Chain A
Amino acid sequence: MAESGSSVEFSGTLTSSNLPPARTRIFKIIVIGDSGVGKTCLTYRFCAGRFPEKTEATIGVDFRERLVEIDGEKIKIQLWDTAGQERFRKSMVQHYYRNVHAVVFVYDVTNAASFRSLPAWIEECKQHALGTEVPRILVGNKCDLQDSVQVGTDVAQQFADTHSMPLFETSAKNPNSQEDGGNSDHVEAIFMTVAHKLKSQKPLVLSQPPVGSGGTVNLSKGGTDGGEGSRSWGCSGGC
């Protein structure tokens, strides 16, 4: 399982017939952040296409996946949805930090404490040898609750810049951004952005506010230099 330079790996023989053919590339993305910020909802929305009616506390690690096509290549995106409660971090979730290709940090825009926890989560990642070379993004969730926002976009953007991460603000519940007539799905775009990033290992620019048509997201590769935070491949404040 040990891989270094390449951030993708090839799967071996697959058993079930509805799985993609062998050698489908798998992108493993771990999703972390405080309990209740909406990690389960976000991963569920991306993999099942809708907001889950009922979520339950995540105990340990849950696993979701989805097959996508990027530039004609079928790629399996594996999302590791982790438990938020602090006690699970240290001795439990550890095991799953290994071999992930990207990290998604999530906070809840209506919960300042979840934003204040971010440095601890980032530190946690570093301890598991997931430094800045691994693509990392920051997601502020629950943007639909506009009246109870506690973490402003500017503060979050500053933080993201400091840590060289792109920032995305979204809502797992109602991810359609208002500007483009509610047609696109931000959550979709966010994970697809990570996938594109991984596929190319070149920085990406969201050319437009993502336009969704039939579940596909149009993303175009950017030509700028490597992974420098939101400036180069992020978007923010879109909700």
Chain B
Amino acid sequence: MKRLKNKKQKAGVEVNGNGSVTREPDCGRKQKLSEINQALISDPVDIETLRRAAASKGGLLTDELRRKVWPKLLNINVYDLPHKPGRDVRENHKDFNQVVLDVTRSMKRFPKGMPASERAVLQEQMTDIILEVLKRTPQLHYYQGYHDVAVTLLLVVGERMTIAMLDTLSNHHLRDFMDPTMDSTKHILNYLMPILEQVDRELHDFMIRAEVGTIFALSWLITWYGHVLSDFKHTMRLYDFFLASHPLMPIYLAATIVLHREKEVKKTECDMAMVHHLLSRIPQDLPYELLIGQAQDLFDQYPPSLLAKRAALQPRKSLSISTFQAFQLATLHQRPDTVLQRLTKAQGSSTSRQAPRQSGLEAALPQEQGRLWGKGNRMVKMAVWGLSATLGAAVFAVAQTAMDWGPEVLLQLF
């Protein structure tokens, strides 16, 4: 990560996350910004537009927008977020040691300029978040790489929103990876070769002859590329895309990456080690925008159902795939944040799905800040206004999330 956020502030302009391609002309960007904001205040929220924006060139453009749009893509009410986990979440947790081991070794995922103390705070949060989400759904099993997903979310949306998002992802997009064994994950990986077969028979046959298998793409799939990309802006760009897409989309992207490197692959010695070695090292300067477009095209042309049939993939129940349609349908009926705020407040916590939740703005704020807000602390309000005035719509959503990120993330972002 290249201190994206710090730079952004210093320059006084938002840096978009569209990766290595040249920026769209500013008017296109402006138009996209306003489309996204419009979609957010529509009632119900215009989820189709948000999805399109997340996938199309440049993705969601700014961290600011990501914080507003990501929850919508996952049908999350920002006024009804889970609480920070208590200390007890670490007690007697079967995955505790593994999680700590992986979180401790996740240093590379943080911005280079971040002070160690700040990173340490975030790493503690990361551990708590992961353990909390696992605890909520005992059927979920931790895998190495899950922490790469957690840290990506955490760096963008803060602790409590990360819990909510990770919870949803774990029960949907990532669900197959969280079985007690990796058999379902293997099944998902099995979609890769059939896609290649459809597009480039020769390349496919070469890889079959090399017996390279698909493990080179394992970390791509289960971390949504977070484990292998060194530039955080690319990771965020891909997360925009995957949050708005079918759970198999990371496999289609893997296919486009392999296809993109077709010449290199064919020139390599036809040997498992050599081909694995080549492919597992992902080039850091991939044309992400191009590949994302190609992945979408491949998906439309060879949808999973067709592949399953043609490649005679063994039928296996994939929870991620089978629950996807219902999940997508559910996202269609979301209210904009201003309405949500009112409703959530009115309903109170009794209707919350998870027990330890409160409602409304105060509830969503950390204890102390909540009190300050209640008393009408001018400083806080002004600071919040300062953040939100430039954004126009959804003022309260910004206020809430901004406070929710907590001072350490705020420091980092602003």
Interface members, chain B 175-229 (any A CB < 8 Å): 180-183, 185-186, 211, 213, 215-216, 218-219, 222-223, 227
CB distance from A173 to the nearest CB of B (A): 14
Are A57 and B271 in touch, CB under 8 angstroms?
A: no
Docked pose: A43 CA to B269 CA in angstroms: 23
Interface members, chain A 76-121 (any B CB < 8 Å): 78, 83, 85, 87-88, 90-93, 95-96, 99
**Total CB contacts across the A-B interface at under 8 A:** 85
Docked pose: A96 CA to B280 CA in angstroms: 14
Q: Name the residue among A55, A58, A60, A61 with the largest chain B CB count within 10 angstroms.
A: A60
Name A85's contact: one of B144, B223, B227 (CB within 8 Å).
B144
CB distance from A227 to the nearest CB of B (A): 25
Residue of A nearest to B107 (CB): A54
Which residues of A lie under 8 Å from residue B141 when comparing CB positions? Answer: 87
Do A57 and B182 contact each other (CB < 8 Å), given the known contacts A11-B271, A63-B276?
no
Which residues of A lie under 8 Å from residue B269 when comparing CB positions? Answer: 11-15
Are B181 and A91 in touch, CB under 8 angstroms?
A: yes
Residue of B nearest to A13 (CB): B269
Interface members, chain B 136-167 (any A CB < 8 Å): 141, 143-145, 147
CB distance from B127 to the nearest CB of A (A): 14
Are B144 and A57 in touch, CB under 8 angstroms?
A: yes
Are A54 and B101 in touch, CB under 8 angstroms?
A: no
Docked pose: A60 CA to B280 CA in angstroms: 10
- Asked if A56 is at the interface (CB within 8 A of a chain B CB), the reply is yes
Are A59 and B181 in touch, CB under 8 angstroms?
A: no
- Asked if B277 is at the interface (CB within 8 A of a chain A CB), the reply is yes
Are A59 and B144 in touch, CB under 8 angstroms?
A: yes
Are B267 and A15 in touch, CB under 8 angstroms?
A: yes
- Asked if A62 is at the interface (CB within 8 A of a chain B CB), the reply is yes
Interface members, chain A 1-16 (any B CB < 8 Å): 1, 11-15
- Asked if B284 is at the interface (CB within 8 A of a chain A CB), the reply is no
- Asked if A174 is at the interface (CB within 8 A of a chain B CB), the reply is no
Interface size bracket, B side: 35 or more
Are A56 and B218 in touch, CB under 8 angstroms?
A: no
Are B211 and A57 in touch, CB under 8 angstroms?
A: no
Are B181 and A87 in touch, CB under 8 angstroms?
A: yes
Interface members, chain B 244-268 (any A CB < 8 Å): 267-268
Are A63 and B268 in touch, CB under 8 angstroms?
A: no
CB distance from A145 to the nearest CB of B (A): 15
Docked pose: A83 CA to B219 CA in angstroms: 11
CB distance from A66 to the nearest CB of B (A): 13
Docked pose: A83 CA to B98 CA in angstroms: 12
Which residues of A lie under 8 Å from residue B180 when comparing CB positions? Answer: 87
Residue of A nearest to B109 (CB): A56
- Asked if B272 is at the interface (CB within 8 A of a chain A CB), the reply is yes
Do A87 and B182 contact each other (CB < 8 Å), given the known contacts A54-B108, A56-B227?
yes
Are A88 and B182 in touch, CB under 8 angstroms?
A: yes
- Asked if A28 is at the interface (CB within 8 A of a chain B CB), the reply is yes
Q: Name the residue among A28, A62, A87, A99 with the largest chain B CB count within 10 angstroms.
A: A87
Which residues of B lie under 8 Å from residue A35 when comparing CB positions? Answer: 98, 101, 144
Are A92 and B98 in touch, CB under 8 angstroms?
A: no
Residue of B nearest to A15 (CB): B267
Docked pose: A1 CA to B186 CA in angstroms: 23
Are A59 and B223 in touch, CB under 8 angstroms?
A: yes
Are A96 and B215 in touch, CB under 8 angstroms?
A: yes
Residue of A nearest to B209 (CB): A1
Docked pose: A57 CA to B147 CA in angstroms: 10
Are B186 and A59 in touch, CB under 8 angstroms?
A: no
Question: Could you jot down 9 A-B contacts, CB within 8 Å?
Answer: A1-B272, A11-B269, A35-B144, A56-B105, A59-B218, A59-B227, A60-B218, A85-B143, A92-B215
User: Nearest 8 pairs between A and B by C-beta?
Assistant: A59-B219, A60-B218, A57-B144, A60-B215, A57-B102, A91-B182, A95-B213, A59-B145
